[in-house]
């Protein structure tokens, strides 16, 4: 009898479950080779924390010839070993400035780069500069490539007609390195003159 509550023979219970009586009486035992292999996997995983099961398997192949990578993976997972994934944070460039609504004309300009592709496959880049108060397009420049000098030249052209703003922002609210240095230089130059 398998259990005291039910009157069911071992033979009948094994037949219902689809299990051989020999497998029921003799559960699988891990051999000495598997014990050695598991101990070695744990040892490597603790000394080399950034190694996943594939690199552990590569190190074990010389020591245990004929070892199967699927077996290494199974033993690796049974021991609860896994490499934690790192969160790769994108580094922010520039200085984040608080977004404040512009209260007058020519106080803050916003700058953005847009790109498109021609039928020939060549990329076009567009620089758009807009006044935050009036939402007027101050400058739109189109070219195949735009260096920092080109951007400052376009900003100088726009400032000849409108005057210099106190700040320039990019589309995501950060101060652009080129725009920030340009606005600072021009503000210092206008203060001295």
pLDDT in tens, 168-183: 777 655 555 555 566 6
**pLDDT (0 to 100) of residue 85:** 76
* pLDDT at position 178: 57
Of 115, 121, 119, the residue nearest 171 (C-alpha)? 115
Determine the pLDDT at residue 60: 94
Whether residue 191 is predicted with pLDDT greater than 70 in this model: the reply is no
At 29-73, the pLDDT tens digits run 889 999 999 999 999 999 988 889 999 999 999 999 989 999 999
- Kindly report the pTM of this predicted structure: 0.44
Q: Is the pLDDT confidence value at 184 over 90?
A: no
User: Tokens 């559960």 sit at which residue?
Assistant: 27
Q: 114: which 2 tokens?
A: 């847009």
């Amino acid at each position: 009898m398998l259990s005291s509550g039910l009157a069911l023979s071992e033979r009948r219970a094994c037949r219902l479950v689809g299990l051989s009586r020999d497998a029921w009486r003799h559960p699988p035992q891990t051999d000495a080779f598997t014990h050695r292999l598991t101990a070695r996997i744990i040892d490597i995983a603790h000394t080399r924390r950034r190694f996943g099961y594939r690199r552990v398997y590569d190190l074990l192949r010389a020591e245990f010839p004929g070892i199967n990578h699927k077996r290494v993976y199974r033993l690796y997972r049974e021991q609860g070993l896994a490499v934690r994934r790192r969160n790769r944070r994108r580094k922010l460039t520039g200085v984040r400035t608080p977004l404040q609504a512009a209260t007058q004309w020519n106080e803050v300009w916003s700058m953005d780069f847009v790109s498109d592709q021609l039928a020939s496959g060549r990329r076009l880049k567009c620089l758009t500069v807009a006044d935050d108060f009036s939402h007027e397009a101050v400058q739109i420049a189109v070219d195949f490539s735009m260096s920092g000098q080109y951007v400052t030249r376009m900003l100088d052209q726009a400032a000849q007609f409108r005057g210099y703003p106190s700040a320039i922002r990019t589309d995501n609210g950060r101060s652009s390195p080129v725009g920030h240095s340009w606005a600072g230089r021009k503000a210092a130059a206008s203060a001295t003159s």
